[in-house]
């Protein structure tokens, strides 16, 4: 039987891709959509040919509903996750898990107390090239990892992403968490110290659009991460995720979006990259559905989301005091 899933908000740009996966997979079924924006609820329900619920509470009480995907503005994650947990529904929550440590811990606690699973949406783990890199490193063939250079640069998404009262920050909180999670996953280790340089040097507004981090891990490896919104409006895709991993035996390089076709469109008067190959959002949704169906642990936990968020929040603190910040986790 397919896992019955509902969507809680389409505020985040990734929601559409997740909804498409739910509707197209054999192991998932879309129950319906709720959103605090009624117009968006109606539009998305029509697009995905599913039911529009008038409230989150109505969605959570829908017959047979087993799980929800939370894609609201960052600041609202805790409210919706706690609401879903109280209703006994498993949760896949968009990143960053929360904008404060206290909120993330409360979300994890609420799900544990309710006996439901909380999974953090880090689809980059399901990129085929990323999984290949992980397999090579896990095999031991490359030797010990010494350092990692990562990027997650992108276009400024605008909207609520640049409203700190809704997003919790700017580029740094938006783009740090993905690659931090990948580094933790590769190293099987936690970040012990964060140093960051953060600015608003591109748009010169009251949100950060430039973020560059240096990370030290407990077992001695170190990493750097460019998490800036530095791609121009005309860039052919939303951004990039790249990693270079320096090991005892050599260097492994990964470009997550290198598999693409170049589309020259007279309809939009633009050039874009159309990715081909594996669909990492679909891989994420499949992993979530499998854990719910089997009652097995989700592969990317709320704690994983918390640890990545801790690094982003420490980066802001480091930039403010112009000094490294130590983490205690």
Instruction: Tell whether 179 and 316 lie within a shared domain.
Output: yes
Single out the residue in 50, 84, 116 at which a domain terminates.
Answer: 116
pLDDT at site 76: 98
Res 302 pLDDT > 90: yes
Domain for residue 314, yes or no?
yes
Q: What domain count does the chain have?
A: 2
Instruction: Output the six-digit token pair for 43.
Output: 């539009």
Tell whether 218 is covered by a domain.
yes
Predicted confidence at residue 296, as pLDDT, reads 97
Q: pLDDT value at position 260?
A: 85
186 and 247 both lie in a single domain:
yes
Using 50, 70 and 90 to split pLDDT, how confident is the model at 236? confident
State the pLDDT confidence band at 234, using cuts at 50, 70 and 90. confident
Determine the structural domain holding residue 72 and report its residue range.
Answer: 3-116
Residue 233, pLDDT above cutoff 90 = no
Give the pair of three-digit tokens for residue 141. 């063939």
Q: Is residue 207 a part of any domain in this protein?
A: yes
Same-domain status, 146 and 274 = yes
**Tens digit of pLDDT for each residue in 28-44?**
999 999 999 999 999 99
User: Considering the domain boundaries, does residue 296 fall inside one?
Assistant: no
| Position 20 in a domain | yes
Q: For 140-152, b where at least 16 C-beta lie within 10 A, e where not — what string?
A: eebeebeebbbbb
Same domain, 107 and 235: no
Which of 17-31, 148-162, 216-230, 264-278 comes out lowest in average pLDDT?
264-278
Give yes or no: residues 252 and 318 share one domain: yes
Say if residue 111 is in the same domain as residue 151: no
What's residue 25's pLDDT?
A: 97
Asked if 176 and 191 count as a contact pair (C-beta separation under 8 A), the reply is no
Residue 329 has pLDDT above 80, yes or no: no
Query: Residues 45, 98: one domain?
Result: yes
Q: What is the mean pLDDT of residues 214-235?
A: 95
Do 189 and 102 lie in one domain? The reply is no
Name which residue leads in pLDDT, 276 or 181. Answer: 181
On whether residue 302 sits in a domain, the answer given is: no
pLDDT at 283 over 80: yes
CB environment 288-301: b (16+ within 10 A), e (fewer): bbebbeeeeebbbb
**Stretch 301-310: mean pLDDT, rounded?**
98
pLDDT over 90 at 169, yes or no: yes
Which CATH number do you get for residue 83?
Answer: 3.40.50.720
The pLDDT score that the predictor gives to residue 158 is 96
- pLDDT in the model for residue 47: 97
My answer on whether 85 and 145 are in the same domain is no
Does residue 165 sit in the same domain as residue 206? yes
Residues 198-220 have pLDDT tens digits of: 999 999 999 999 999 999 999 99
């Amino acid at each position: 039987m397919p896992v019955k899933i509902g969507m809680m908000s389409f505020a985040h740009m990734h929601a559409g891709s997740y909804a498409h996966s739910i509707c197209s997979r054999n192991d998932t079924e879309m129950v319906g959509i709720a959103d605090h924006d009624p117009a968006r609820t109606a539009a998305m329900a029509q697009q995905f040919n599913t039911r529009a619920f008038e409230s989150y509470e109505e969605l959570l009480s829908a017959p047979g509903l087993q799980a929800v995907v939370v894609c609201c503005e960052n600041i609202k994650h805790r409210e919706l996750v706690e609401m879903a947990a109280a209703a006994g529904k498993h949760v896949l929550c968009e990143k960053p898990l929360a904008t404060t440590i206290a909120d993330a811990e409360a979300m994890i606690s609420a799900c544990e107390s309710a006996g439901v699973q909380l999974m953090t949406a880090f689809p980059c783990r399901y990129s085929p090239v990323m999984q290949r890199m992980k397999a090579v490193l896990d095999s031991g063939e490359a030797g010990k990892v010494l350092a990692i250079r990562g990027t997650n640069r992108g276009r400024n998404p605008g909207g609520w992403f640049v409203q700190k009262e809704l997003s919790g920050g700017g580029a740094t909180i938006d783009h740090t968490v993905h690659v931090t999670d990948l580094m933790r996953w590769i190293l099987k280790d936690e970040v012990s110290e964060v140093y960051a340089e953060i600015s608003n040097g591109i748009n010169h507004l009251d949100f950060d659009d430039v973020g560059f981090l240096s990370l030290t891990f407990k077992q001695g490896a170190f990493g750097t991460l460019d998490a800036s919104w530095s791609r121009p409006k005309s860039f052919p895709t939303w951004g990039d995720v790249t990693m270079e991993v320096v090991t005892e035996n050599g260097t492994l390089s990964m470009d997550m979006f290198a598999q693409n076709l170049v589309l020259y469109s007279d309809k939009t008067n633009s050039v874009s990259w159309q990715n081909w190959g594996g669909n990492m959002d679909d891989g994420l949704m499949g992993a979530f559905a499998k854990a719910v169906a089997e009652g097995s642990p989700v592969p990317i936990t709320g704690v994983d989301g918390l640890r990545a968020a801790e690094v982003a929040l420490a980066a802001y603190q480091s930039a403010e005091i112009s000094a490294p910040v130590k983490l205690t986790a």
